[in-house]
Amino acid sequence: MERKIVHVIGTGTIGEPLIGLLCDYQDQLGIDEITFHKNSALKHDRSKVIDLLKRGARLAVDQEKISDFKKLKIDSDLETEDAIQRASVVIDCTPKGIGHDNKAKYYKKFSKTVKGFLAQGSEDGFGKKYARGVNDSTLNSDNKFIQIVSCNTHNISCITNTIALNSNIDNLESGNFLCVRRANDLSQEDSFIPSPKVGIHDDDKYGTHHARDSVSLFSTLGLDLNLFSSAMKVNSQYMHILWFKLKLKESINMDDLKNRLVSNPLVAMTTKDMTSSVFSFGRDHGHYGRILNQTVIVEQSLHLRNGNEVFGFCFTPQDGNSILSSIAATEWFLYPHSYEDKIQCLSNLFFNNI
């Protein structure tokens, strides 16, 4: 029987917790082996590499960098190209642009033997856009390359799908969103800003890439949605905040609105109104501190106007929704007929209330 091997490239804010989660749930997910690639032998990264090795993952490095890792007393098992070639699924979690470079350099070469390749939200055009719970029905054997959409695009898409399209796919008149983004992740040492900074609208039709990517995601379902987004950064390292306004064609009352949100297991509800409180909950109760839900709705912020305009605030789980979709797509490649059952082992990492 063919061994099922998952190879993760990159150990950043998505890659590191993804490798750890795959290792911890390896048996339940039906994975025989987890390998990962680390590009640079950095002393301050030694501790996390050692911990991932202790969890059972195997390390792959570039041939010319083997000696650099040995100096850190880290031995690699695999060489970069060999690790990709022997993998069943490759999940690329590298910084923007590198995923496309890897596709041209490696992935196309091994596309006949590897079941599938995934890249993260920054790699627009890498492959079919995917978000767990939104367009699973569109996955098919032609999808060798998949792009996991960004965390804020997950949030926008989940909100739109749950509130507007739940009962009628033609129910959305328009959607407007403001992504209030954290400056950087706690693990990152650069890109922090001293004060809030507004963004620009670099897309004439959709504002920012968040709405554009969400529209592209829904287009795989044959939908052409009217969405527009804006973005800004604040000097915080906790969580992104999303403000939304959805104008529906059909009226809705508050009870029905809340019922739609509560009935979606990918949605978490909260009465907490500060990012620090929600982030703290994830740190204390999530896997690697992550909340895997697509969105966290602030219940008391929900507001209805004229019966068909829905307003509210929600928090975007820090990379957790991207990690969930990465695992779901991986399991689809490995077990296309039973992946829904396989990923239920992660159900204890979802929260109804935060």
Q: What is the pLDDT of residues 38-80, one digit of tens each?
A: 999 999 999 999 999 999 999 999 999 999 999 999 999 999 9
What pLDDT is recorded for position 1? 67
pLDDT digits (tens, 9 = 90+) for 79-122: 999 999 999 999 999 988 899 999 999 999 999 999 999 999 88
Residue among 321, 279, 289 at smallest CA distance from 159: 321
- Identify which has the larger pLDDT, 146 or 187: 146
Report yes or no: 328 and 339 within 8 Å, Cβ to Cβ. yes
Report yes or no: 288 and 20 within 8 Å, Cβ to Cβ. yes
Report yes or no: 320 and 292 within 8 Å, Cβ to Cβ. yes
CA atoms of 74 and 48, how far apart (whole Å):
11
Task: Please list the residues that pair with 34 across neighbouring strands.
Answer: 6
pLDDT digits (tens, 9 = 90+) for 211-236: 999 999 999 999 999 999 999 999 99
CA atoms of 211 and 175, how far apart (whole Å):
9
Q: Once rounded to an integer, what is the mean pLDDT over residues 330-334?
A: 97
Alpha carbon distance, N-terminus to C-terminus of the chain: 42
Q: What angle do CA 12, 15, 16 make, to 5 degrees?
A: 75
Task: Please list the residues that pair with 314 across neighbouring strands.
Answer: 242, 297
Q: Give SS3 for 231.
A: strand
Q: Which two tokens stand for residue 194?
A: 């001293």
**Residue ranges per domain, the chain?**
5-149+322-345, 151-319
Judge if 5-149+322-345 and 151-319 fold alike in CATH terms: no
Other residues' Cβ atoms within 10 Å of the Cβ of residue 307: 11
pLDDT digits (tens, 9 = 90+) for 294-320: 999 999 999 999 999 999 999 999 789
The percent of residues in the chain predicted with pLDDT above 70, rounded, is 100
What pLDDT is recorded for position 186? 78
Number of H helices, E strands in the chain: 12, 16
pLDDT digits (tens, 9 = 90+) for 230-247: 999 999 989 999 999 999
Mean pLDDT score of the chain = 95
Output the CATH code of domain 5-149+322-345.
3.40.50.720
- Identify which has the larger pLDDT, 141 or 309: 309
Output the CATH code of domain 151-319.
3.30.360.10
Dihedral sign, Cα of residue 278, residue 284, residue 289, residue 291: negative
